[in-house]
Structure 1
Amino acid sequence: MERALSTALPAWMYPPRESGWEADDLDLLPPDAPRHIELLDGALVFNMSPQRSWHDRVIRRLTAALEGTIPSGWTVEAQMTIKLNRRSRPEPDVIAASVPYTPDRTRFLPEEVALVVEVVSAESEDRDRRYKPVLYADAGIRHFWRIEDESGSPAVHTYELDDTTRAYVATGVHRERLDLPVPFKISVDVADLAR
């Protein structure tokens, strides 16, 4: 006898109001909700597909490398959300923020964040390359990095916010070393991120 699959959604998946989801609603999700949920223009986005080991390794190693270089009173976090506005709360892969570590923090605000990093995966490539950078720039986050997998080796594409156009401009592609003076003095062996 075959079991019928339930098509009913859990009650928490329904928007809490007629106008839809808002950024603060993510803090009210039940403990059994998926761990990685973003809110993009009022729509919940579930990051549930299995991540490749490469993706996880690059995030962990970049986070550790940045923690070794950030100024005192700053923090680096992996996979934490940023409340960009009332209806958008994306979850970048890495954040560097000019605020001290707070153990109960569930999100950052754009004015606290100096750098966001997206490590592109097959499931998120369109969001990471085209959609989320526009949201980050519009919120005024000064630095954005996108890390691509080039045949197993990472390539870090760096961008800085142009205040006139309120859009990111490319500042380089780094495949061996990443040595930058902003948002703080950074020196990272790019090739080591995936070894």
Structure 2
Amino acid sequence: MNAALPEWLHPPRDSGWEADDLDTISDLPRHTELIDGALVFRTSPQRSWHDRVIRRLTSALEDQAPQGHTVEAQMTIRLSVKSRPEPDVIAASVPYDPDRTRFLPEEVALVVELVSDESQERDRETKPFKYARAGIPHFWRVEEEHGLPVVHSYELDETTQAYVATGIHRERIETSVPFDIDIDLARLTH
């Protein structure tokens, strides 16, 4: 093995990377995810729109989350031994823990993905399937439409372990699940 190459270029030969490895691999690029045992890296710079919506949506959800809940941006969820994706926003039904490095599916009430050009397939297909199979009750997919965020909301059908669409929200999202939420979507970008 070439000592000049980062450790993450050399996955374990027999098993591949595992979820807990993300806490111990040295020099791992920021925002690295693990999907089916493979490390996934952000391949292009994040646009200002994406960053702004994440920050403002996180803040709006934090302001409305009930006591005992925490809202985090860009933290991973350990879905399985081989999958630890990093959603853009998580609302969890556990209190804030300053030493937390990841969430478990049973702690997560809502997961939000903002779709970008480089992550379309993961955000629209791969991740929602995995979140549903892990039992996360609510999923929002945020798309950009004419410079504004549009929220596609979903709720888990526990019988099929699949998400069912509950709405497309262009100006405002107002819902009582997973807790009372009322957000003016235009304020996330203006």
Amino acid at match of 2:107: E
- Normalised to the residue count of structure 1, the TM-score between the two structures is 0.93
Unpaired segments of 5 or more residues in structure 2? none
**Equivalent residues in 2 for 1:19-168 (5 A)?**
19-30=15-26, 32-168=27-163
1:13 corresponding residue in structure 2: 9
Amino acid at match of 2:69: W
- Between Structure 1 and Structure 2, whose CA radius of gyration is higher? 1
In the alignment, the residues of structure 2 paired with residue 16 and residue 26 of structure 1 have an alpha-carbon distance, to the nearest angstrom, of 13
Query: CA shift at 1:102, angstroms?
Result: 0.4
| Count of matched residue positions in the alignment of Structure 1 and Structure 2 | 187
Unpaired segments of 5 or more residues in structure 1? 1-7
> Secondary structure of the residue that 2:111 maps to in structure 1?
strand
Amino acid at match of 1:21: W
Query: CA shift at 1:99, angstroms?
Result: 0.4
In the alignment, the residues of structure 1 paired with residue 52 and residue 19 of structure 2 have an alpha-carbon distance, to the nearest angstrom, of 29
- Normalised to the residue count of structure 2, the TM-score between the two structures is 0.96
Query: CA shift at 1:10, angstroms?
Result: 2.1
Greater than 4 Å deviation, 4+ residue runs: none
Percent of aligned pairs sharing the same letter? 72
| 1:120-168 per-position Cα deviation (integer Å, ceiling 9, x unaligned) | 1101011000110000000000000000000201100000000111100
